[in-house]
Amino acid sequence: MDESNVSPPQDVSAWIVAERGDGAPVVAVGPVCLVVDHRDVDAAGRYTVAPADLPVLLLDSLLARPGFRPRNEAAPEGLLNPRQLAEMWRQATEYEHGRG
């Protein structure tokens, strides 16, 4: 399956599932996540890293490391733009298909 031609559903959402010791939120879409460093968030609260450069990690692997505490809340509106969400969804889908 060519994942580059797959569009995410309209209801893809990001959740803050944990935070790093310095308060940086861990934002997840399915089984993948990224740590949103405050230096990469602009004054309007938007994450500024380009979709192709997102430091996407497997959520389980990250949370197995020390120094993260649980959270469970929706990511703030506008933190991730639609292209960033689409890239995270693409990687989540790729991971899920690779496991099967």
Which pLDDT band, with edges at 50, 70 and 90, does 2 fall under? very low
**What's the CA gap between 9 and 25, in Å, rounded?**
24
Query: In terms of C-beta density within 10 A (0-12 exposed, 13-18 middle, 19 or more buried), how is residue 99 classed?
Result: exposed
Q: Is residue 6 over pLDDT 90?
A: no
Contact (Cβ atoms closer than 8 angstroms) between residue 68 and residue 18: yes
Integer Cα distance of 33 and 63 in angstroms: 10
Q: Is residue 79 a contact partner of residue 28, using CB atoms and an 8 Å limit?
A: no
Q: Is the pLDDT of residue 99 over 50?
A: yes
